[in-house]
Amino acid sequence: MLKRYLLAPGPTPVPPEALLAMAMPIIHHRSPDFLPVLDSAKKGLQWLYQTKNDVLIICSTGTGGMVGSVNNFFSPGDKALVINAGNFGERWTKICKAYNLSVEEIKIDWGYSVKPEEVEKALKKDPSIKGVFVQASETSTGVYHDIKAIAGIVKKYENTILVVDAISALVAHDLRMDEWGIDVLIGGSQKGLMLPPGLAFIGVSEKAWTFAEKSTAPKFYFNFKAERKKLKDNQTNFTSPVTLIIGLNESLKLLQAEGLENAFRRHEKLAHATREAVRALGLEMFTKESPSCSVTAINAPAGIDGQEIYKNLRVKYGITAAGGQGQAKGRIFRIAHLGYAGTFDVITAIAGVEMVLKGMGHPVKLGTGVAVAQELLIV
Ligand SMILES: *Cc1c(COP(=O)(O)O)cnc(C)c1O
């Protein structure tokens, strides 16, 4: 038997409290049993999103939340400004194009974050841009974009809304939907929220709802106005993923007991320890600036394939981390510290990396990175 450790940037481990709750018999989504369950999830999500706005719950993966945010707030021909700094930025472009939006990209080299001035420049040049699309944490490169600054810019433009894919950032990063003026904020269940895949969450500002009124793009399953109406009665438009929503309440309960600030601080600390430990091993970050608190992207040492590090971690030691995506495939590997993550997840990951590298013939003094992480994580 090989004991397994899940240290990927989604899916992430699910705490036993949520697993147990999800083992209970199914309840009916239109019965009075379920209404308080959804009511509680709805309120918990507003707490997490730091918002008074509606936070819709959709049965889909995170990408469904992205797709719905394109076909519900925009129309064919609308101009979209996409910040493309990695694999998930590229996904925004693909979705917008699939719905016949006219896409302009701010293309960023992988490993770097967008300069908010570039967003300002693009909007000044073309105020008819309807939507700015960005990731909070670009999971493929381990970069965090400055959402606060970008929101401050977009909110000055009456005809433009900001759509943020925060699927891998929520819970790890402070994202103040109302205070900063984020219009659409998208989350997913299998990342910071410590649940199985299957739920997308979409926070929607009043400004964004006015865009929904004008949208002519086709909508049926992802119909946010219909979802909003149902949500008022603690229902979803179609059959609710009752099991996942029961689990969601358990995850939210754990996070509420910890407190939002503490959750952010925990992720920051784990991310910092991971980066410093890896540097102590003589490895370089793939992320050149503004590192995300959810995932650390690391360059494979010269002559070693990043996918082989990922594979050896999994096959030899039972650690499922992540390799590279797109143009970074083979060049990097990634370690997540997201959601149900603590001190010994980092220690495990670093110890595993040391053992894998040594096993692959790379000169490593065992314990070097682990010692650095231990120092930084002593309480
Ligand atoms: C995981 C992730 C998604 C969504 O992926 P799904 O497989 O659809 O859940 C989108 N954006 C980012 C930044 C992600 O990390």
Instruction: Name residue 28's amino acid.
Output: H
Q: What percent of the chain has pLDDT over 70?
A: 100
Q: What percent of the chain has pLDDT over 90?
A: 100
pLDDT band at residue 39 using 50, 70 and 90 as cut-offs: very high
Task: For 66-132, give the secondary structure using H, E and C.
Answer: HHHHHHCCCCCCCEEEEEECCHHHHHHHHHHHHCCCEEEEEECCCCCCCCHHHHHHHHHHCCCEEEE
- Check: CB of residue 296 under 8 Å from CB of residue 282: no
Contacts (Cβ under 8 Å, ≥6 apart) of 68: 58, 60, 200, 202, 222, 224
d(CA 298, CA 67): 30
* Strand bridging mode 102-107 / 79-84: parallel
pLDDT digits (tens, 9 = 90+) for 344-379: 999 999 999 999 999 999 999 999 999 999 999 999
Pick the residue whose CA is nearest to atom 2 on ligand 1. 167
Mutate to test the pocket of ligand 1, among 92, 167, 184 (most ligand atoms within 8 A of CB): 167
- Check: CB of residue 53 under 8 Å from CB of residue 178: yes
Separation of CA 369 and ligand 1 centre (Å): 29
d(CA 35, CA 78): 38
pLDDT digits (tens, 9 = 90+) for 107-160: 999 999 999 999 999 999 999 999 999 999 999 999 999 999 999 999 999 999
Mutate to test the pocket of ligand 1, among 59, 61, 67, 70 (most ligand atoms within 8 A of CB): 61
Q: Which atom of ligand 1 is nearest to the CA of 197?
A: 9
| HSE, side-chain direction, 13 A CA sphere, residue 337 | 30
pLDDT digits (tens, 9 = 90+) for 261-272: 999 999 999 999
- Residue 11: name the closest of 277, 354, 247 by CA: 247
Separation of CA 191 and ligand 1 centre (Å): 8
- Check: CB of residue 28 under 8 Å from CB of residue 34: yes
Q: Which atom of ligand 1 is nearest to the CA of 137?
A: 13
- Check: CB of residue 68 under 8 Å from CB of residue 222: yes
- The overall average pLDDT reported for the chain is 98
pLDDT band at residue 290 using 50, 70 and 90 as cut-offs: very high
- Write down the pLDDT at residue 249: 98
Return phi, psi of residue 276, to 5°.
-65, -40
Instruction: Name residue 370's amino acid.
Output: V
d(CA 55, CA 332): 35
Task: Give the DSSP letter of residue 30.
Answer: T
Pick the residue whose CA is nearest to atom 4 on ligand 1. 62
Pick the residue whose CA is nearest to atom 3 on ligand 1. 62
Ligand 1 neighbours, Cβ below 6 Å, are 9-10, 61-63, 88, 135, 139, 165, 167-168, 188, 197
Pick the residue whose CA is nearest to atom 12 on ligand 1. 167
d(CA 104, CA 203): 24
Q: Spell out the domain ranges in the chain.
A: 5-10+259-377, 16-257
Mutate to test the pocket of ligand 1, among 168, 201, 222 (most ligand atoms within 8 A of CB): 168
Separation of CA 332 and ligand 1 centre (Å): 19
Q: Which two tokens stand for residue 103?
A: 């896409």
Fold of 5-10+259-377: Aspartate Aminotransferase, domain 1 (3.90.1150)
For the full predicted model, state whether its pTM sits above 0.75.
yes
Q: Which atom of ligand 1 is nearest to the CA of 168?
A: 15
- Check: CB of residue 165 under 8 Å from CB of residue 138: no
What's the CATH number of domain 16-257, 3.40.50.300, 3.40.630.30, 3.40.640.10, 3.20.20.140?
3.40.640.10
Q: Which two tokens stand for residue 292?
A: 């995300």
